[in-house]
Structure 1
Amino acid sequence: MSTSLPQRFSFDDARVLVIGDVMLDKFRYGTVTRISPEAPVPVMHVASERTMLGGAGNVLANLVALQCECGLIAMIGADDAGRHCRQMIEALDVDPELLVIAPARVTTLKTRLVSGSQQLLRCDEEDATPIDAAIEEQLIARFEDALGDYTAVAISDYAKGVLSDRVLRHVIDRCRETNVPVIVDPKRRDLAVYAGATAIKPNRSELAAFTGTPCSDGPSRRAAADRAMEATGAAILLTLSEDGMALFRPGSAMQHFHATATEVYDVSGAGDTALAIFSAGIAAGMAMEESAMLANAGAGAVVRKLGTATLSRIELAEAVAAVDGRQTGAICSRAEAARQVAHWKQEGLRVGFTNGCFDIVHAGHIEILRQARARCDRLVVGLNSDASVSRLKGPERPIQPESSRAQVLAAIDAVDLVVVFDEDTPLDLITALLPTELIKGADYTEDKVVGAREVKAAGGRVHLIDLVPGLSTTRAVERIRRRAEPADQS
């Protein structure tokens, strides 16, 4: 069966309630150059450390990155890790009041030692024993208070105790009663405990463990999925690592979505990203196969990042475009660009900015963009609107409308984002984005570069790059007009 990715998607109407096991993921990065004299183990010199929300918390972080309205019901301990989780949830601008604090339990903390792209060791601090009845009551009460505000529920089960039989059954039954889709990322061996869910997202080993079928090829996956669907009544979105994903629904043919990742740096949290995107799509009213295709494209993109990473809406759009063979750059609003630039900067990426009219793109423009991209990890291009170009260049300009100029720029490999601005200068746009690298042609001096002071005050840098001599849109337009003029008949 042939299907294509949705060319346009929006999560504006998606409101997703996440319930499950939240944890703290700590990554310590360093280099290994020798073996310990005390034991035959490597010695790692720690250079940096990052701490991120994991488990259900990472599902939440991904939903926030996708600009979805979302909430989180989870349990934390009255410890440093729990307090850190709460602070990070607040930093996402999500109300932490749905969290349940269990003073007698520890918050799950996973510490990973990473050298290069190789994970050397993981240390877990956790309490996976069943929760008591009092905690169950609090979780159920939080769920009842919140359910009416959401259009889908995502269950993130890491088998750390939050999703007891009682809590799980209450959540699924109440979702069915209120016609709210519920999507499960399972951890339990017995998938039948999730009976009544809208969709379940097991991996190959989880489905094989439940059915006793190896899931090594199409027929065995179909047989295993049929058994799981019979036991649960749910659709099965089977994740297959390097083989992508397969969607099974009762009475329908299997739909296989091939993997999109060409380079895999870290699979930590990729399943959380897939759950977030799949749930967001269903919450927004998309068809299940469209949601699955988006989830597959997103998972293929997020494994290219180190650590428990998230994927923004713009990055998802780029992943979708890459799968479908369309342009790789994104054309977005100022507000969307500001969110994306902040996201990139949080990941430690150098974000470059340059601007211009780009009316008739020529080799000089391409060279400027190529050199600009070489000075950063992500390049944003500010594009003068039609009204702005007319004020600057005269009433006969631009030759190409802003929509066409933006599409041309977005199709250039060096460009990651295109933002149209209506002012005469890009100062307001630069101030809103605060790129780390501001790039202009060497026909300027630094004191004449718009936004240089603001970028440098924020710790950024200004780059002046050489122009290709003799190339100018204005000259090209004049040359075209001269050639179009009728010859003198006298």
Structure 2
Amino acid sequence: MLKFLNKTLAQFLIQEKFPKVKVAVIGDLMLDRYVWGRVSRISPEAPVPIIQVERKTSCLGGAGNVACNLAALGCQVHLVGVVGADFEASILAEEMQLANLSTDWLVVDSTRPTTVKTRIIGKSQQVVRLDEESTELVNEDIEQRLLDCSLALLDNVDVVILSDYNKGVLTDNFLKIFLHKSKLKQIPVLVDPKRKDYTMYIGATAITPNRSESELSLNRTLVSDQDFEIAAREFQRKYAFEAVLITRSEQGITLLHNANVHHLPSQSREVFDVSGAGDCVIATLAAALSAGLSWAEATELANLSAGVTIQKVGTTPVRVEELLQVLEQEGIGSANSKVLELPELMRHIAIWRAEGKMVAFTNGCFDLLHVGHVTYLDKAKDMADILIVGLNTDLSVKRLKGSERPITPELDRARVLASLSSVDAVVLFNEDTPIELIRAIKPNLLIKGADYQGKEVVGSEFVHSYQGRVELIPFVEDRSTTSIVQKLRRMSSHTI
């Protein structure tokens, strides 16, 4: 069971918001070639397997694979990179067109070859990889053309991904200028690094190194959750990133956002090939953040997506249908996911309203939940499509009911309420009244107990101002937290 995501919200954003997300992917373009075959026997010439070739395939690698993952998720993608003036560049362009990616932003450098990585696969296992590439820095003319293309896109994208494989394309000068300009325009930049020193990434929003890249940069081995937390904090402190996300292959992901750290275990059941997992993570992360998910939610969705891709052989993007399917299988939407902070609740309300649903609001302390509460909430739910419960925090309850209350802590009360099928969301408030919540939520229906008959219901004037309704529901007789507490005290005194 996942910790942060809500299934309904995630599915809505994937289907409705992802197609509107605009992403620029800038970096090292590669052509990934695969030679597929079966192992027939060991060579008599050397102790190596003989692969009987059955088929050959090509696909986009490096920054191209990130772009393919975004396109597979339905996003609008602009891919910027350098290719050679060679036959491989034409194949790469064909692969881009097959993935519905425009070739308008490709910069041709006749002095260097198109990067090609050839993987030999036998019995679903990679046997060897052949690399054809140049790692020399691009010349000033190519750097300027690349920079012009990249800066031109800043006015038309929601987020930028820098896919830096340290092949000489993203030069220090390029990074310095581009990161400065993107920060001025408040465009978030996520970096997938291959350099040892991350100094040139200062100004980026977040960095997503894998385990080996993190170890290389820090010059030490990372094993435990604590190791990865310390590493993430060191990166954040040294380079001032808003977030650090370290991918750990089959061990999942460590996220540091501001001061909060989360360790998310891998969702994969069987690992076949981790190549391309980092590309999948940063692509899903960028799409999810741009669609409105929090860092924790977006990372959890990215982790789920990576769990799909490492079950495949080769760098195969995760399609929308696959992500939706694995979301459904995970059964996201537990009681915990109904307990929401106000900003997250407002995103849910926007979705519910877009679906034409009537939203009701009620509030209370709900200390020692009993049949009177349950009946009341059932009746409230019958009046609307969505029932939101505002719950007094412990401090608020103490002010209202005395120092001995509440009996049950706020998080326990919230979770018990959220477990009821009649309740769609629970939000805590620290004030004596829920008026600020009511003003934020603007419920179609404000519901209170019938004991408010003849009294002013907090928020009623505001709700009536936009033609909302206020309804009073009778309580179940002789059922209240106060009467339960009094009975327990009598029983305790008799025992003494």
* TM-score bucket of the superposed structures, by smaller chain: 0.5 to 0.7
Q: Which amino acid aligns with 1:7?
A: T
User: 1:322, 1:5 → 2: CA distance?
Assistant: 13
What secondary structure does 1:12 align onto? helix
- Displacement of 1:122: 0.6
Correspondence for 1:245: 253
Q: Is the 8 A contact 1:65 1:311 kept in 2?
A: yes
What secondary structure does 1:86 align onto? helix
Correspondence for 2:9: 8
* Deviation sequence 1:416-456 (CA, Å, 0-9, x none): xxxxxxxxxxxxxxxxxxxxxxxxxxxxxxxxxxxxxxxxx
Paired residues for 1:144-223 under 5 Å? 144-223=151-230
Paired residues for 1:12-91 under 5 Å? 12-91=19-98
Q: Is the counterpart of residue 319 in structure 1 residue 320 in structure 2?
A: no
* Deviation sequence 1:196-253 (CA, Å, 0-9, x none): 111100112222222234321122222211110012211101111121001102322x
Q: Is the counterpart of residue 233 in structure 1 residue 234 in structure 2?
A: no
Correspondence for 1:259: 266
- Displacement of 1:4: 3.5
Q: Which amino acid aligns with 1:251?
A: A
Correspondence for 1:280: 287
Q: Is the 8 A contact 2:249 2:277 kept in 1?
A: no
Structure 2, unmatched stretches of 5+, are 11-16, 334-496
- Displacement of 1:171: 2.1
- Displacement of 1:5: 4.6
Cα RMSD for the two superposed structures: 1.8
Q: Is the 8 A contact 1:5 1:294 kept in 2?
A: no
Q: Which amino acid aligns with 1:67?
A: G
Q: Is the 8 A contact 1:76 1:101 kept in 2?
A: yes
Q: Which amino acid aligns with 1:130?
A: L
Q: Is the 8 A contact 2:190 2:208 kept in 1?
A: yes
- Displacement of 1:147: 1.4
* Deviation sequence 1:339-365 (CA, Å, 0-9, x none): xxxxxxxxxxxxxxxxxxxxxxxxxxx
Q: Is the 8 A contact 1:28 1:50 kept in 2?
A: yes
- Displacement of 1:189: 0.6
Q: Is the 8 A contact 1:213 1:220 kept in 2?
A: no
Q: Which amino acid aligns with 1:238?
A: I
Q: Is the 8 A contact 2:4 2:300 kept in 1?
A: no
User: 2:265, 2:6 → 1: CA distance?
Assistant: 12
Q: Which amino acid aligns with 1:17?
A: A
- Displacement of 1:92: 2.4
Larger Rg: 2
Q: Is the 8 A contact 2:30 2:117 kept in 1?
A: yes
Correspondence for 1:396: none
- Displacement of 1:179: 0.5
What secondary structure does 1:34 align onto? strand
Q: Is the counterpart of residue 106 in structure 1 residue 104 in structure 2?
A: no
Paired residues for 1:381-400 under 5 Å? none
Q: Is the counterpart of residue 118 in structure 1 residue 155 in structure 2?
A: no
What secondary structure does 2:20 align onto? coil
Structure 1, unmatched stretches of 5+, are 327-490
Correspondence for 1:297: 304
What secondary structure does 1:8 align onto? helix
User: 1:134, 1:5 → 2: CA distance?
Assistant: 48
User: 2:58, 2:147 → 1: CA distance?
Assistant: 29
What secondary structure does 1:260 align onto? coil
The TM-score with structure 1 as length reference comes to: 0.64
The TM-score with structure 2 as length reference comes to: 0.63
* Deviation sequence 1:276-327 (CA, Å, 0-9, x none): 101111222321111111110000001111211011112111222233458x
Paired residues for 1:408-423 under 5 Å? none
Q: Aligned pairs, how many?
A: 326
Q: Which amino acid aligns with 2:99?
A: L
User: 2:62, 2:332 → 1: CA distance?
Assistant: 32
What secondary structure does 1:167 align onto? helix
